[in-house]
Structure 1
Amino acid sequence: MEPESRPCFRFAPSPNGWLHLGHALSAILNFEMARAARGRFLLRIEDIDATRTREDYVEGIIADLKWLGLSWEEPVRRQSRFMADYLAAQERLQARGLLYPCFCSRTDIARAVEAREHESGAPWPRDPDGAPLYPGTCRALGSAGLARAAAGEDCAWRLDSPRALEAAGEIAWTEVDEQGEAHEVRAEPAAWGDVVLARKDIGTSYHIAVVIDDAAQGVTHVVRGRDLYHATSMHRLLQILLDLPAPLYTHHRLVLDANGEKLSKSLKSTALRELRAEGATPDDVRELAGLDLLDVDAERP
Structure 2
Amino acid sequence: MTAPRPLVTRFAPSPTGFLHLGHAHSALAGWRRARTGGGRFLLRIEDIDATRCRPEFTDAIFEDLTWLGLDWDGPVRVQSRHMADYRITLDALAARGLLYPCFCSRGDIAREIAGSAAAPHGPDGPLYPGTCRRLTEAKRRARLAAGEPHALRLDMGRALAGLAGPLDFEEAGQGRLHCDPARFGDVVLARKEVPASYHLCVTHDDARDGVTLVTRGVDLLPATDLHRLLQHLMGWPAPAYAHHALLTDASGRRLAKRDGAPTLRDLRRQGASPAQVRATAGWPD
State whether TM-score is above 0.5: yes
103-112 vs 137-146, which moves further: 137-146
Question: Which residue pairs with 2:38 in the alignment?
Answer: 38
Pair 1:173-2:169 in alignment: yes
Contact 2:41 2:72 in 1 (8 A): yes
Question: Which residue pairs with 1:140 in the alignment?
Answer: 134
Pair 1:161-2:153 in alignment: no
Contact 1:11 1:43 in 2 (8 A): yes
Which of 281, 288, 291 pairs up with 2:280? 288
Which of 204, 209, 212 pairs up with 1:212? 204
Pair 1:268-2:264 in alignment: no
Q: Deviations over 1:240-279 (max 9, x none)?
A: 0011110010100100122322111122211111111111
Question: Which residue pairs with 1:128 in the alignment?
Answer: 123
* 1:146 Cα offset (Å): 4.2
User: How far apart, CA to CA, are the structure 1 residues paired with 2:231 and 2:150?
Assistant: 24
User: How far apart, CA to CA, are the structure 1 residues paired with 2:146 and 2:232?
Assistant: 31
SS in 2 for 1:263: coil
Question: Which residue pairs with 1:200 in the alignment?
Answer: 192
Q: Deviations over 1:15-70 (max 9, x none)?
A: 01111111100101111100111000110000111111111100110111001100
The alignment of Structure 1 onto Structure 2 pairs a total of residues equal to: 280
Question: Which residue pairs with 1:233 in the alignment?
Answer: 225
Change beyond 3 A, Cα 1:150–1:223: farther
Contact 2:5 2:212 in 1 (8 A): no
User: How far apart, CA to CA, are the structure 1 residues paired with 2:156 and 2:251?
Assistant: 37
Change beyond 3 A, Cα 1:265–1:216: same
Change beyond 3 A, Cα 1:258–1:146: farther
SS in 2 for 1:266: helix
SS in 1 for 2:48: coil
Change beyond 3 A, Cα 1:42–1:185: same
Question: Which residue pairs with 1:58 in the alignment?
Answer: 58
Question: Which residue pairs with 1:298 in the alignment?
Answer: none
Question: Which residue pairs with 2:177 in the alignment?
Answer: 185
Change beyond 3 A, Cα 1:150–1:164: farther
- TM-score normalised according to structure 2 size: 0.94
Question: Which residue pairs with 1:258 in the alignment?
Answer: 250
**For residue 79 of structure 2, what is the amino acid of its counterpart?**
Q
User: How far apart, CA to CA, are the structure 2 residues paired with 1:146 and 1:292?
Assistant: 58
* 1:75 Cα offset (Å): 1.3
In structure 1, runs of 5+ residues without a counterpart are: 294-301
Question: Which residue pairs with 1:296 in the alignment?
Answer: none
Question: Which residue pairs with 1:111 in the alignment?
Answer: 111
Structure 1 stretches of 4+ moved >6 Å: none
Q: Deviations over 1:175-228 (max 9, x none)?
A: 113xxxx50010111111111000221211001100110111111110000010
SS in 1 for 2:100: strand
Cα-Cα RMSD: 1.6
Change beyond 3 A, Cα 1:249–1:5: closer
In structure 2, runs of 5+ residues without a counterpart are: none
- TM-score normalised according to structure 1 size: 0.89
User: How far apart, CA to CA, are the structure 2 residues paired with 1:53 and 1:89?
Assistant: 23
User: How far apart, CA to CA, are the structure 1 residues paired with 2:248 and 2:56?
Assistant: 26
Question: Which residue pairs with 2:29 in the alignment?
Answer: 29
